[in-house]
Structure 1
Amino acid sequence: MVWIGADDRSMPIFEGMFPIPNGVSYNSYVIRDEKIIIMDTCDVSVAPQYWENLMAALDGRSPDYFFVGHMEPDHGAQIKRIVDTYPDVVVVASPRAIEMMNDFYGLVPKNTMPISEGDTLSLGKHTLTFVQAMMVHWPEVMFAYDSYDGTLYCEDAFGSFGASDGQLFADRETFDRKYLDDARRYYTNIVGKYGKHVQKVLSKAGGIKISRFCPLHGQVWDKDLDYILDKYQHWSTYEPEVKGVVVAYASMYGNTEAAANLLAQKLNEKGVKDVSVINLMMTHASYLVADAFKYSNLVLAAPTYNNGLQPMMRTAIEDMASMAVQKRKFSLIANGSWSAASEKVMKDMLSEMEDMTQVGETFIIRSSMKPEQSADLDALADAIVKSLE
């Protein structure tokens, strides 16, 4: 198997909305055997590098098969060019993916091999078995398992934001330090909603001997597979990784911010080691979604705005809800100069999310926190600490 992917450090946002300051990698592969198969393509942004790598991997041969496991354009942008360049290639994909080729690219391949769960394809020594992975995270997705070397070509599963920086293979220590936050933010914002579907795929994976994960983004996993599987087990069941607190605030003039920062300080003073503070006025909501998956407790602090909720906080809660954040304890700080309407809006929004439990009384600010309110904030901090036990 040959990797033919590329890094993109120029694109500032992914899918038109997620900041990717560390870039992103697009992975694709070629299996060279008696028969040759191309495993997926890449985004248009890295097409020149992809084609250079593909030509080198083919080394003058023409591919016999072309596997399309996922039709999303960041992986399918070169489908039409491959079929045009190699008109005799057999396109191997789910029936839904074959339909999508026409929808996206006006393409009806001449030679197709529609595949479903359990179908196989022999390349020589390598035999691929296809695994349906519906809604991880699109409906047409198929994984491919190579029984010869135990590789699972797993599409967007086990992927990550972040360019590879020349490090194709995941090393647990380096990954934990350098890539875990990007992997968590990728999963929680791209796949997070589909935990039940991920659980089905993990169950299937448990029944086969896998020695390597080859995703379409991020590093290839050829050791410490239990490490990333454990992360996916937490994320897909919405169980927190860490007993800790993320404090997210939106503040117009600094008063709500001051209360949020003081609460974070009190939590640290009371022995809570894992505290994250996010300014939603400056930080994209995807970072809060990721921390909401990571930590057991949320603190949301926001002022009233137009007799409702400050828009950045509203968007952040909507994003958490859309990614099915659940099973969390939450606490609230609400500010209002004449009416703290933000409390009701936040409570109403959180009540629509599954298994969310409020900890402590809502801390109400009238424009700015007063010295005599310090005891009330202490009480909220104590309640949060107790909930972490």
Structure 2
Amino acid sequence: MQCVRKVTEDLYWVGANDKRLALFENIHPIPRGTSYNSYVLLDEKNVLFDTADWSVCRQFIENVEYVLADRTLDYMVINHMEPDHGASIEEILLRYPKVKIICTAKATMMMNQFGFPVKNIQEVKEGDTMSFGKHEVTFVAAPMVHWPEAMVTFDTTAGVLFSADAFGSFGSLDGKLFADEVNFDRDWIDDARRYYTNIVGKYGPQVQKLLKKAGGLDIKYICPLHGPVWRKDIGYFLEKYDKWSKYEPEEQGVLIAYASMYGNTESAAHILATKLCEKGMTNIALYDVSCTHVSYLISEAFKYSHMALLSVTYNLKIFPVMQNFIEDMAALNLQKRVVGVVENGSWAPQAGSLIAEELDKMKEMTVLNEQMTILSSLNDATYDQLDDLAESIIESMK
């Protein structure tokens, strides 16, 4: 049975939700599942915008067939060739063999790489336009947001931006297609941030270019390939993307991330959090990196202005899960943060200096001078040092 929703007078959402998938891209936990969004435009020429993941192909095909009814499918626009959106291309070709594919030259290359029997292709580039009847669209290149073949399509007639993987979010829609049908700031923003920072975060400069292009468009709807469709308060989400892609923190606050073996470094993290709260800084997120997936840590690192990284020394190195977190920060281009560093060691503490070296390789990262060392366990001196570190963090916010 079909499960569709009307977006505008002529546009229908024909995607599907997957609540069984545990890991997005087989790496990021998605406890609320995900949506795969696809759209059909009914006009003199009928158009399908992107397809869906193989896991939801049956529902997707039923939705497309229901909306088209006895109409033919004239065009299929491929904004993004990643398999969670392109896997069902061949199924569409089998059912609608006369459909013409509209995509970039790089997308054609990738379809051939994935083994799709594509022949009827119209390649487009930045600034090209097409008319489907009442609706006219323009194509905007979006390379490395977050694949090199990506583009977005703007329906100039209805003000609809088909934004590919930009402006998406983790999470199953559960019937609520539009962002204004949920409390987005309460229930969705964390998933949207974690989606952006881990999937697209490395490519901030490319996202900035796309935002500048979008600024010249009269956007009334944003139709992403994951997550809710935007038709109200679009500026709210554009502002988030602007901050994230400039690597500017959303909030003044502190992410405390600790790697502890026997509880002493963990105690230091809790004492630091307590000291910060006593001094008036209560906007704190505290995580044990050993039992927190790194995608959550990355999301919080993008959110807050400050970090405190506390790690034991392990085999004369940084504790492996902390090392992984720091490497992910670097890989995703995180920058412009103030960081306090605490190390622990029983005979050769080195984690602190090694963490500082890693942070030094990133852009505009400030390591506070109050880097401190715990020798095995806490004492009165380290307690006072944690108080000094808390004071230093708060002073740096001024």
Q: TM-score, normalised by structure 1?
A: 0.98
Question: Does structure 1 residue 113 correspond to structure 2 residue 122?
Answer: yes
Report the counterpart of residue 17 of structure 1 in structure 2.
Answer: 27
The residue matched to 1:327 in structure 2 has which SS?
coil
Q: Cα offset for 1:359?
A: 2.0
Alpha-carbon separation, structure 1, partners of 2:266 and 2:206: 38
- 1:305-344 equivalences in 2 (<5 Å): 305-344=314-353
The residue matched to 1:171 in structure 2 has which SS?
helix
- 1:43-122 equivalences in 2 (<5 Å): 43-104=53-114, 106-122=115-131
The residue matched to 2:145 in structure 1 has which SS?
coil
Output one character per residue of 1:279-318: Cα deviation in whole Å (capped at 9) or x when no partner. 1111101111111111000111110011111000000000
Q: Pick from 21, 42, 47 the counterpart of residue 37 of structure 1.
A: 47
- Range with bigger deviation, 326-335 or 355-364: 355-364
Check whether the contact 1:87–1:110 (CA below 8 A) recurs between aligned residues. no
Which one-letter code corresponds to 2:37 in the other structure?
A: N
Check whether the contact 1:172–1:227 (CA below 8 A) recurs between aligned residues. no
Check whether the contact 2:335–2:363 (CA below 8 A) recurs between aligned residues. yes
Which one-letter code corresponds to 1:195 in the other structure?
A: G
Check whether the contact 1:334–1:363 (CA below 8 A) recurs between aligned residues. yes
The residue matched to 1:155 in structure 2 has which SS?
coil
Query: What do you get for the CA RMSD once the two structures are aligned?
Result: 1.0
Question: Does structure 1 residue 171 correspond to structure 2 residue 185?
Answer: no
Report the counterpart of residue 151 of structure 2 in structure 1.
Answer: 142
Q: Pick from 376, 379, 382 the counterpart of residue 385 of structure 2.
A: 376
Report the counterpart of residue 188 of structure 1 in structure 2.
Answer: 197
Question: Does structure 1 residue 359 correspond to structure 2 residue 368?
Answer: yes
The residue matched to 2:179 in structure 1 has which SS?
coil
Q: Cα offset for 1:173?
A: 7.0
Q: Cα offset for 1:110?
A: 2.1
Q: Cα offset for 1:124?
A: 0.8
Aligned residues: 388
Q: Cα offset for 1:172?
A: 8.5
The residue matched to 1:46 in structure 2 has which SS?
helix
Output one character per residue of 1:16-51: Cα deviation in whole Å (capped at 9) or x when no partner. 110111111110000001110110011111112111
Q: Cα offset for 1:54?
A: 1.1
Q: Pick from 165, 184, 191 the counterpart of residue 156 of structure 1.
A: 165
The residue matched to 2:217 in structure 1 has which SS?
coil
Check whether the contact 1:160–1:186 (CA below 8 A) recurs between aligned residues. yes
How many percent identity over aligned positions?
Answer: 51
Question: Does structure 1 residue 7 correspond to structure 2 residue 17?
Answer: yes
Alpha-carbon separation, structure 2, partners of 1:203 and 1:137: 17
- Range with bigger deviation, 164-173 or 271-280: 164-173
Alpha-carbon separation, structure 1, partners of 2:70 and 2:329: 49
Check whether the contact 1:37–1:63 (CA below 8 A) recurs between aligned residues. yes
Report the counterpart of residue 287 of structure 1 in structure 2.
Answer: 296
Q: Cα offset for 1:273?
A: 2.3
Report the counterpart of residue 244 of structure 2 in structure 1.
Answer: 235
- 1:272-283 equivalences in 2 (<5 Å): 272-283=281-292
Output one character per residue of 1:189-242: Cα deviation in whole Å (capped at 9) or x when no partner. 000011100011000011111101000000000010100010001000011110
- 1:252-291 equivalences in 2 (<5 Å): 252-291=261-300
Q: Cα offset for 1:373?
A: 2.1
Report the counterpart of residue 6 of structure 2 in structure 1.
Answer: none
Which one-letter code corresponds to 1:155 in the other structure?
A: A
Which one-letter code corresponds to 2:49 in the other structure?
A: M
Output one character per residue of 1:162-204: Cα deviation in whole Å (capped at 9) or x when no partner. 1112211002870000000000000000000111000110000
The residue matched to 2:70 in structure 1 has which SS?
coil
- Range with bigger deviation, 307-316 or 81-90: 81-90
Question: Does structure 1 residue 221 correspond to structure 2 residue 230?
Answer: yes
Alpha-carbon separation, structure 1, partners of 2:29 and 2:69: 37
Q: Cα offset for 1:372?
A: 3.1
Q: Which runs of 4+ in 1 moved over 6 A?
A: none
Check whether the contact 1:88–1:110 (CA below 8 A) recurs between aligned residues. no
Q: Which runs of 5+ in 2 are unaligned?
A: 1-10
Output one character per residue of 1:300-358: Cα deviation in whole Å (capped at 9) or x when no partner. 11100111110000000001111100000000110101111111211111111111001
Which one-letter code corresponds to 2:118 in the other structure?
A: P
Alpha-carbon separation, structure 2, partners of 1:15 and 1:173: 25
CA distance 1:323–1:172, shift in 2 (3 Å): farther
Alpha-carbon separation, structure 2, partners of 1:374 and 1:46: 54
The residue matched to 2:302 in structure 1 has which SS?
helix
Which one-letter code corresponds to 2:73 in the other structure?
A: P
